[in-house]
Homo-oligomer: A and B are copies of this chain.
């Protein structure tokens, strides 16, 4: 037996990082309550939803609330131009321009990064993807961020050429994120659920690297679409899995309330 030595196994539990035991609070009180305190520090959460389900707003609020608690964060966007993103966020009371100016919340357009890296703006090779991962890591290290968002992993993967490359990239991203130790939100864009069943990701692999899954979807109440949130999974917590309503307002941002039962 060449590949295996007996002490490998014992080693493995000593391999535990120096992980803070506490939680990374989202700052949305009902959500932290539901999570049993917050997201376990260092977890990677897949935030799943279709267009308009609230993924971007919830992610940004997670960073803004972190900043208020003294934790730096970074938001990597891949589809939305920065000026549009910030303009939209300025509508929300949780968002404060000073966080940006003081470097507490950092918003970075991955397309600008990849341009600077000399990458093909629309299509990455294996090496490009790898280089991009390195830069992500460098940025997170340099900024000493505790919270990291990629919005969205789906659009990021669209820039890879083949399904095989996408699989490899996702597994490598998983390893990188685990090593970084940040609490991470990856947004996952899926089609509206309708009658065609549920899915957590475009490629069915993204959930492999996730310690938690937040599922945002719409409930149709006789023609009225209600946004909802459901915790499918959150390793390291005892969490409720009931579906709750998610409201978005400019004054409060995201709010979580009980979902009224349909009479039908």
Contact = CB atoms under 8 A, between A and B. Distances in A.
Nearest to A169: B122
A29 interface: no
Contact of A107 (B13, B139, B211): B13
A22 interface: no
Contacts of A232: 50-52, 192, 225
B103 A10 contact: yes
A81 B176 CA distance: 11
A12 B108 contact: yes
Interface in A209-241: 209-211, 213, 218-219, 222-228, 230, 232-233, 235-236, 238, 241
A135 interface: yes
Interface in A232-264: 232-233, 235-236, 238, 241-244, 248-250, 259, 261
A187 to B, nearest CB: 11
A116 B1 CA distance: 11
Contacts of A52: 213, 232-233
Contacts of A122: 167-168, 171-172
A22 to B, nearest CB: 13
A256 B172 CA distance: 36
Nearest to A9: B106
Interface string A78-117: 0101111011100100000100110100111101110011
Interface string A28-50: 00000000000000100000001
Interface string A1-41: 11110101110110111010000000000000000000000
A70 interface: no
Contact of A194 (B51, B174, B198, B248): B198
Nearest to A233: B52
A79 B171 contact: yes
A69 interface: no
A227 B238 CA distance: 13
B15 A138 contact: no
Given A4-B139, A9-B103, A178 B213 contact: no
A87 B19 contact: yes
